């Protein structure tokens, strides 16, 4: 469970100009690829709520529950708020999707590095946890294109990038990735940021200066290492970095340095064979985008800069 103090439900996290600009660029790219809910795999985006419920897999219609795996330690995307209840952008969007689909939403709090395994073990129906849609996760491959798992499908719903977070005052004078050579970086394991740091470590090694990467189970643990001076930086998603700067987390105060990196969409993750659920959720998300509920949820969290224009299946590249 997160050690961070969650924000008040009425407080939205302001987005930075960099986040808005980067997200806009990503959103424009995203609309040009993949399959939307209104064309191709998605089918009829104009379906009524009753139609959408009828299109759900029988196991979900009969139970009346959509089970969602999420790492609830990642404010403001997903975290535990008042009364230890799930809260955040993903939680609000999931509840809105459940209402459109005519089912209850049930969250399982799962460490991020176990989410894919739990999904493929049928512990939940989908994953909604600020998970970046990228070719490696879709294909189940590593950086050398070796097959390591069965891969996932995604319905993309938000665009963001990676920020470099340092202790307030930037005591180790980090301005970008190249400044990490000879230093220690902390990062949550199994994230796109962990992969980015692995690549940077290889570049540093070639230059003769070692980058030490410390992987943690949660982002709060990585931030704590930065606050304690045991790591120079933590890399995390831009909305999460902005939240850490504004509210403080993991016992420290922070700031963001450098430019936002590797802009890409968050995707709701599904097992490859679960195409019926994937496409029905895509249609439901398109419905929320069209009726304005999607924009209302993003505005609540100060994250409208990351809005997408339509639900896209496997839209990243």
43-64 pLDDT per residue, tens: 444 567 779 999 999 999 999 9
Distance of CA 303 to the CA centre of its chain: 13
> Is 240 part of a structural domain of the chain?
yes
pLDDT band at 265 (very low <50, low <70, confident <90, very high): very high
- Residue 164: name the closest of 68, 245, 110 by CA: 245
Q: Taking Cα atoms as reference points, which of 262, 246, 266 lies closest to residue 254?
A: 246
* pLDDT mean over 92-112: 97
For the residues 99-121, what does the mean pLDDT come to? Answer: 96
> What's the pLDDT score for residue 180?
97
Nearest-angstrom CA–CA distance, 239 and 245: 10
Q: Are residues 150 and 296 in the same domain?
A: yes
Domain match, 145 and 170 both: no
1 inside domain: no
Poorest-pLDDT segment among 77-81, 117-121, 248-252: 248-252
Q: How confident is the model at residue 250 (pLDDT cuts 50, 70, 90)?
A: confident
Say if residue 145 is in the same domain as residue 174: no
**Distance between CA atoms of 208 and 249, rounded to whole angstroms?**
34
| Bridge partners of residue 66, in order along the sequence | 105
In terms of domains, do 237 and 274 share one?
Answer: no
Q: Is 276 found in the same domain as 218? A: no
Q: Is residue 190 part of a domain?
A: yes
What total number of domains does the chain contain? 2
Q: What is the CATH number of the domain that holds 212?
A: 3.40.190.10
pLDDT for the residue numbered 47: 64
Mind giving me the DSSP string for the chain? ---SPPPPTTPPPPPPHHHHHHHHHHHHHHTTSSEETTSGGG--TT--HHHHHHHS-HHHHHHTEEEEEE--EETTTEEE-GGG-EESHHHHHHHHHHHHHT-EEEEEE--GGGHHHHHHTTSSSEE-SSPBP-HHHHHTB-TT--B-S--EEEEEEEEEEEEEEEETT-TT---SGGGGTTSEEEEETTSHHHHHHHHHHHHHHHTT-PPEEEEESSHHHHHHHHHTTS-SEEEEEHHHHHHHHHH-BTTB-EEEEEEEEEEEEEEEEEETT-HHHHHHHHHHHHHHHHHTHHHHHHHHTT-GGG--SS-EES---
pLDDT number for residue 32: 39
Q: Rounding to the nearest 10 degrees, give the CA dihedral for residues 154, 92, 80, 169.
A: 80
pLDDT the model gives residue 50: 79
Please state the rounded mean pLDDT for residues 80-105.
96
Q: How far apart are the first and last CA of the chain?
A: 32
Mean pLDDT of the region 162-185: 97
Residues 203 and 181 in one domain: yes
CA torsion through residues 93, 94, 95, 101, sign: positive
Q: What is the pLDDT of residue 37?
A: 54
Confidence of residue 316 (pLDDT cuts 50, 70, 90): confident
Mean pLDDT of the chain: 87
- Verify that 57 and 143 share a domain, yes or no: yes
- Strands 312-313 and 35-36 turn out to be antiparallel
Which range marks the domain in which residue 176 is found? 162-262
CA distance linking residue 221 with residue 246, whole number of Å: 18
∠ at Cα 221 (220, 225), nearest 5°? 115
Pair 60, 148 in one domain: yes
| 25 inside domain | yes
**Domain match, 153 and 173 both:** no
Query: Within a domain: residue 2?
Result: no
Statement to judge: residues 145 and 273 lie in one domain: yes
Mean pLDDT of 59-82: 96
Together in a domain, 65 and 182: no
Dihedral class, residue 307 (left if φ above 0, else alpha if ψ from -120 to 50, else beta): beta
Distance (Å, whole) CA 303 – CA 19: 9
Determine which of 31-35, 127-131, 135-139, 181-185 has the lowest per-residue pLDDT on average.
31-35
Same domain, 47 and 137: yes
Q: Which has more pLDDT, 248 or 152?
A: 152
11: in domain: no
The pLDDT tens digits of the residues spanning 186-233 come to 999 999 999 999 999 999 999 999 999 999 999 999 999 999 999 999
| 4 falls within a domain | no
- pLDDT tens per residue across span 3-47: 333 333 333 333 333 344 444 444 434 443 455 554 333 444 456
């Amino acid at each position: 469970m997160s050690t961070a103090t969650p924000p008040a439900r009425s407080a939205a996290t302001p987005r930075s100009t960099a986040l808005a600009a980067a997200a806009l660029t990503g959103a424009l790219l995203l609309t040009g690829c993949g399959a939307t809910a209104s064309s191709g795999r998605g089918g009829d985006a104009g379906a009524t709520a009753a139609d959408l419920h009828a299109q759900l897999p029988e196991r979900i219609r009969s139970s009346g529950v959509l089970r969602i795996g999420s790492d609830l330690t990642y404010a403001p995307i997903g975290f535990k708020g008042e009364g230890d209840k799930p809260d955040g952008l993903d939680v609000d969007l999931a509840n809105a999707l459940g209402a459109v689909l005519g089912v209850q939403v049930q969250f399982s709090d799962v460490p991020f590095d176990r989410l894919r395994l739990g999904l493929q073990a049928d512990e939940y129906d989908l994953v909604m946890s600020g998970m970046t849609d990228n070719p490696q996760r879709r294909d189940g491959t590593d950086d050398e294109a070796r097959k390591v798992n069965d891969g996932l499908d995604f319905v993309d719903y938000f665009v963001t990038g990676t920020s470099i977070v340092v202790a307030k005052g930037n005591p180790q004078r980090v301005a970008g990735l190249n400044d990490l050579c000879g230093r220690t970086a902390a990062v949550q394991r199994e994230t796109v940021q962990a992969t980015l740091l692995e690549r940077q470590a290889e570049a540093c090694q070639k230059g003769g200066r070692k980058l030490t990467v410390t992987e943690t189970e949660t982002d709060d643990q990585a931030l704590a290492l930065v606050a304690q001076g045991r790591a120079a930086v933590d890399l995390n998603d831009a909305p999460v970095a902005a939240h850490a700067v504004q509210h403080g987390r993991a016992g420290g105060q922070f700031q963001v340095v450098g430019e936002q990196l590797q802009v890409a969409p968050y995707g709701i993750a599904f097992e490859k064979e679960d195409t019926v659920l994937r496409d029905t959720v895509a249609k439901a998300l398109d419905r929320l985008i069209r009726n304005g509920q999607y924009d209302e949820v993003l505005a609540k969290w100060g994250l409208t800069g990351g809005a997408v224009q339509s639900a896209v299946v496997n839209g990243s590249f």
